[in-house]
Amino acid sequence: MSAPGTGMQPADFSARHSSAARYAARAVALLLLAAACAGCAGLSATSPIASENDYSSVALDPRVTVFTTRQAVKSAKASPWFGTERAKQPSVAQVKLSSPYEQRAFSLASVGLGDWGIASVELLPNGLQWTGEGNRRDVLVYVHGFNQGFEQAVLDSARLADGVKFRGETILFTWPSKAALLDYIYDRDSAMWSRDALESMLTELLQHPAVNNIHIVAHSMGTMLSIEALRQLHARFGETAALKIGAVVLAAPDIDIDVFSSTVRRVGSLAQRITVLTATNDRALSIATKLAGGVTRVGAAEKERLEALGLKVIDASQFGGSGVNHDLFLSNERVRLQVRQAIEQSRRSPIAVRAGEALLGSP
């Protein structure tokens, strides 16, 4: 699979996969941690694994793949790796992570205190490297929101994948946010500028025989970018575009409700894949509504208004506390469970997946 707009070609992915022994070692560590923490309460976004059949892929193999329209800093060899400027060409990188499970498994004193971290970033000059038909995998694409630096976006993608116990490849699509509260307009324009690159990445995933279901979770301003990319996919491929798309979860969408309603009507059956996560007590969206001249943001809209568009809605208002309530899909266990269920219930059959590939053609 090539990087969007670069013409990069795929190579063998198997060399980058962890060995069976490494997987087994991580599984043992996770099970030890689960036993040690039995009865523990209050762990954050990385609560212990309940059983050997209930772990995420990122917990066993701590890495995420990154597609980015950010400009690399010093060839992405050291922090901050990718900055706030817009790149001339998108980049693809693999990020290896330090895992909170490893920290906790061998130091019970640190239980509840560990978190994900970036261990290394490696640019992939040949783009994504996948095996073919015999090694299919589901893919979870995370698109971050406003005011997010590269590192924060990477760690949130790991927290998301682990929090919903996703089994498959995790891909972060990160666009050039200034990561500053006063740069809302720059972020909004950068997000929209990146929609062609996101469409290109999704097209490659749709066409590739190594990919089963493609699930998309987008947050805040990233939902605007994602829905526009889906609109472009539908304009290009018609109903065929929906045949490999699983769940599309739009968490706290920072989108004008009128613009969103118009766009949803133009994505065909892709609209049936969309779940909107809302909270009427989302304080960040309350501020965004004021900045937008009082026009309601989708993430703060009434449930009935969104359901009238044929969308599934998760109203998380009851799970919000006294905080901002803008990242409940990451911070609240019950909301994460509903996101997980949306993903699991939306998987397309192998017949639909293969039909989509046949109609879309080869990459």
* Average pLDDT of the segment spanning 184-198: 97
Spatial neighbors of 129 by CB under 8 A, at least 6 apart, are 1, 10, 11, 12, 13, 16
What is the model's pLDDT at position 351? 78
Residue 54 has, within 13 A of its CA and on its CB side, a CA count of 11
Specify the higher pLDDT residue, 323 or 297.
297
pLDDT value at 6 more than 80: no
* Average pLDDT of the segment spanning 1-24: 45
Distance (Å, whole) CA 262 – CA 111: 47
SS3 label, residue 308: coil
Q: How confident is the model at residue 114 (pLDDT cuts 50, 70, 90)?
A: low
pLDDT value at 358 more than 90: no
Per-residue pLDDT of 283-292, as tens digits, reads 999 999 888 8
* Average pLDDT of the segment spanning 88-103: 91
Residue 69's nearest CA partner among 50, 51, 84 is 84
* Average pLDDT of the segment spanning 286-315: 92
- Which range among 101-110, 121-130, 353-362 shows the weakest confidence by mean pLDDT? 101-110
SS3 label, residue 85: strand
SS3 label, residue 205: helix
* Average pLDDT of the segment spanning 149-169: 96
Phi, psi torsion values for 93, nearest 5 degrees: -145, 155
Distance (Å, whole) CA 249 – CA 252: 10
Q: How confident is the model at residue 121 (pLDDT cuts 50, 70, 90)?
A: very high
* Average pLDDT of the segment spanning 306-310: 94
Contact (Cβ atoms closer than 8 angstroms) between residue 276 and residue 260: no
Hey, which residues does 143 pair with through a beta bridge?
A: 173, 218
Instruction: State the average pLDDT for the chain.
Output: 84
User: H or E segment at 258?
Assistant: helix 257-264
- Which range among 61-65, 205-209, 256-260 shows the weakest confidence by mean pLDDT? 205-209
* Average pLDDT of the segment spanning 96-104: 82
Tokens 């992915």 belong to residue: 13
- Give percent of the chain above pLDDT 90: 63
What is the model's pLDDT at position 300? 92
Q: How confident is the model at residue 50 (pLDDT cuts 50, 70, 90)?
A: very low
- Which range among 140-144, 229-233, 246-250, 343-347 shows the weakest confidence by mean pLDDT? 343-347
Hey, which residues does 95 pair with through a beta bridge?
A: 64, 121
User: H or E segment at 63?
Assistant: strand 63-72
What is the model's pLDDT at position 43? 30
What is the model's pLDDT at position 134? 64
Distance (Å, whole) CA 186 – CA 165: 34
Residue 117 token pair: 């971290």
Specify the higher pLDDT residue, 180 or 102.
180
pTM, rounded to two decimals: 0.84
All domains of the chain in start order, with CATH: 58-360 (3.40.50.1820)
Per-residue pLDDT of 215-246, as tens digits, reads 999 999 999 999 999 999 999 999 998 889 99
What is the model's pLDDT at position 49? 35
Q: How many residues does the chain have?
A: 363
